[in-house]
Amino acid sequence: MRIDKFLSHLKYGSRSDIKDQIGQGRILKNGLVVRDPGEDVLPDSDLVDVGGERVFYRQWIYLMLNKPQGVLSANRDDRQKTVIDLVPSPYDRFDLDLCGRLDLDTEGLILLTNDGDLLHQIISPKKDIEKHYEATLAHPLGDYSALEKGVRILDGKDLPYVTKPAKVVPLSDTRCQIRLTEGKFHEVKRMFEAIGNEVVHLKRVAIGGLRLDPDLPSGACKELTFSEVQAVFR
């Protein structure tokens, strides 16, 4: 790959900017000053420096993010802080997408990646990947058998919809884990409303076999290996 294209993709500037920096002798490859913007670079093996900063590169990035409340599950927004705004350097140089969104006031596990094939596998309804949530309720859980059969709610377009059967694991009188294989708009909240209850706090703790690291602070993220991400499909 041309070095100007490589650095432009990593948001070090436009190709014109990169050309200017090369003219200033600010870009090195394997310790030698680069003179030609068209010089080839092997991203996985060559060491590239820009203005004294070593360029970080991975072909594929996988990040576990512990989303806080009040942060929008989106790539960008003009008014609201998004999960992408929480991504630290050097990962913020990559174009990342979300594997599964969360409501504004829902916290917990979000997977961010630039691996489009893996992303589509995870979000595909055909895969039936379970999402695990811990819900705190306004009232005692009571009889939840209807949730395990499917309840009628309104979907994101306010159209009647019957949910797929969920799995419910009581944790206390007013706390439970609920596992779904779909993700309609406000689905967990609407499901509990359908049985006369109210969700006052909701946190996603797992996607398939990938569990949120309990030691990961709210708002923080950590890099995962491909094999760790594959746990989603277990």
61-103: per-residue pLDDT in tens? 999 999 999 999 999 898 999 999 999 999 999 999 998 889 9
Residues 111, 113, 118, 122, Cα dihedral to 10°: 20
User: How much is the pLDDT for 25?
Assistant: 96
Q: pTM for the complete prediction? A: 0.92
Q: How many residues are present in the chain?
A: 234
pLDDT in tens, 200-211: 999 999 999 999
Q: Could you write out the DSSP letters of every residue in 170-233?
A: E-SSSEEEEEES---TTHHHHHHHHTT--EEEEEEEEETTEEPPTTSPTT-EEE--HHHHGGGG
pLDDT in tens, 5-18: 999 999 999 999 99
Residue 153: other Cβ atoms inside 10 A: 20
Q: Mean pLDDT score of the chain, rounded to an integer? A: 95
CA–CA distance from 97 to each of 61, 101, 123, 125, 213 (Å)?
Answer: 10, 10, 12, 18, 20
What percentage of residues in the chain have a pLDDT greater than 90? Answer: 88
Residue 105 falls in the annotated catalytic set: no
Using 50, 70 and 90 to split pLDDT, how confident is the model at 183? confident
Catalytic residue among 4, 40, 95, 103: 103
Domains, the chain, with CATH or none: 3-54 (3.10.290.10), 62-125+214-233 (3.30.70.580), 130-207 (3.30.70.1560)
pLDDT in tens, 121-170: 998 888 889 999 999 999 999 999 999 999 999 887 888 899 999 999 99
User: How much is the pLDDT for 154?
Assistant: 84
User: How much is the pLDDT for 111?
Assistant: 97
Using 50, 70 and 90 to split pLDDT, how confident is the model at 40? very high
- Flag whether pLDDT at 175 surpasses 80: yes
User: How much is the pLDDT for 211?
Assistant: 97
